[in-house]
A and B are shown apart, each in its own frame.
Chain A
Amino acid sequence: MTPAKASSRKTSFSPMIHSYLRMDERFPHVWCPGCGIGIVFGALIHAVHELKIPKKKLLLASGIGCTSRMPGYLDADTFHVLHGRALAAATGVKLARPDMEVVVVGGDGDMLAIGGNHFIHTARRNIGMTCIVLNNYNYAMTGGQQSPTTPRDMFATTAPYGAIDDPVDACLLASGAGAAFVARTTTYNFVQLKRLIKTALSRKGFRLLEVVAQCPTIFGRLNRIPTPKDLVTWIKAHTVTLEAAKKMDAKELEDKVVTGVFVDREVEEYSERYARLVKKVRNAH
């Protein structure tokens, strides 16, 4: 294998993404080789850049887990809070500063297990924020325990004989709670991933984007799909679009990841409602 010779041409190129990162001695970042979180992070930065969201107005919040380390690397206002509590903390920020663009990221465990109650109620209220749930089917940071999304019969360190819990569908949960925008994608399809993040960022109210992301080092190895490329291929093989899914029966859909937009409706964002209430109250006096 003979690598191409480096070009001597002095270029002024500097990657757009690097300008959004706090690139200090903490890089390379903490996530494992081939982990899907970095891809979602890149897509988020692309989306923020293309929508020209000023860094001064951006808040990235997270709870605890692998995904939750993302804010630390972003050069904006960042809020790394307690396990499962990011949506509640972000609610406080959004209502205190409705002008800010609030994005909350978290893993399947952080958002849907310990954070489940806040997930439901933040969606119900349609507080203005984009919630990106990186679903890698396990608690990877703590070594691969089962999470609320671990598929039936797959392995985790706390499901050594295969999971017997039925997984929760984050999109159905958010839709049921009333979220204004609900969609799912995977790290395999970057174009769709970036497009859906941009769509979510441009909507009002609570916007959920679930992203099935590969966790090769932990979940992959526990389920004998150890390399990034195997796991990414496995995810792709289990993915069907919403249109295709409509023509499939429940049995066929059992182990499938359905991607696309499930809910996309106009809502009056909670802080706008509250501002209207304040105006009404203050005019009445």
Chain B
Amino acid sequence: MKLKRKAFPVTTIEEPKGFIYIYPDLCKGCDLCVVLCPKDILALGDDLKVHVVNPTDCIACYLCEWNCPDFAIFIEKKEKKES
């Protein structure tokens, strides 16, 4: 069907293990990614949106992406040869 797609701005954070992509307009600040991240690298900002607070610890385990009900955070693992 005819659809007027909308582009949602994305914030990209580079990590040793990969990239974290955050779509602030989609995030509702539900806190699940923050709570479930095994390395505590995420936090809710004053804008009640998710932010990466200490990127170096990210192990690219996808738990944030999987547990986000709003499709607002994604992980792209770096290929082995790159790092």
Taking the complex as a whole, does A directly touch B, i.e. does some CB pair lie under 8 Å apart? Answer: yes
A-side contacts of B6, CB under 8 Å: 23-25, 27
Contact B3 A229 (CB under 8 A): no
Q: Is A34 an interface residue (CB 8 A)?
A: yes
User: Of A5-13, A109-117, A173-181, which binds chain B?
Assistant: A5-13
A-side contacts of B29, CB under 8 Å: 33
With A28-B25, A228-B32 known to touch, is A1 a contact of B8 (CB < 8 Å)? no
Partner of B53, one of A1, A42, A191: A1
How many residues on chain A are close to B (CB under 8 Å)? Answer: 42
Give CA–CA (A18, B13) in the complex, Å.
19
Contact A229 B12 (CB under 8 A): no
Contact B3 A4 (CB under 8 A): no
Q: Is B26 an interface residue (CB 8 A)?
A: yes
B-side contacts of A41, CB under 8 Å: 69
Residue of A17, A22, A39, A41 most packed against chain B (CB within 10 A): A39
Report the nearest B residue to A26, measured CB to CB: B6
Contact A23 B8 (CB under 8 A): yes
Q: Is A142 an interface residue (CB 8 A)?
A: no
Per-position binary interface string of chain B over residues 16-55, scored 1 when its CB falls under 8 Å from any chain A CB and 0 otherwise = 0001010001101111100110000001010000011111
With A2-B53, A13-B21 known to touch, is A27 a contact of B67 (CB < 8 Å)? no
Per-position binary interface string of chain B over residues 51-83, scored 1 when its CB falls under 8 Å from any chain A CB and 0 otherwise = 111110000000100111111101010000000
B-side contacts of A23, CB under 8 Å: 5-6, 8
For chain B, the bracket of interface size reads 35 or more
Contact B31 A227 (CB under 8 A): yes
Contact B67 A190 (CB under 8 A): yes
Q: Is A63 an interface residue (CB 8 A)?
A: no
Contact A229 B35 (CB under 8 A): yes
In the complex, what's the smallest C-beta–C-beta distance from B44 to chain A, in angstroms? Answer: 9
B-side contacts of A2, CB under 8 Å: 53
A-side contacts of B70, CB under 8 Å: 28-29, 33, 38
Residues of B that sit less than 8 Å from A by CB: 3-6, 8, 11-14, 19, 21, 25-26, 28-32, 35-36, 43, 45, 51-55, 63, 66-72, 74, 76
Sample (18) of A-B pairs whose CB atoms are under 8 Å apart:
A4-B51, A4-B53, A9-B14, A11-B76, A13-B12, A18-B71, A25-B4, A28-B26, A32-B28, A34-B30, A34-B31, A34-B32, A42-B68, A42-B71, A190-B66, A228-B30, A228-B31, A229-B31
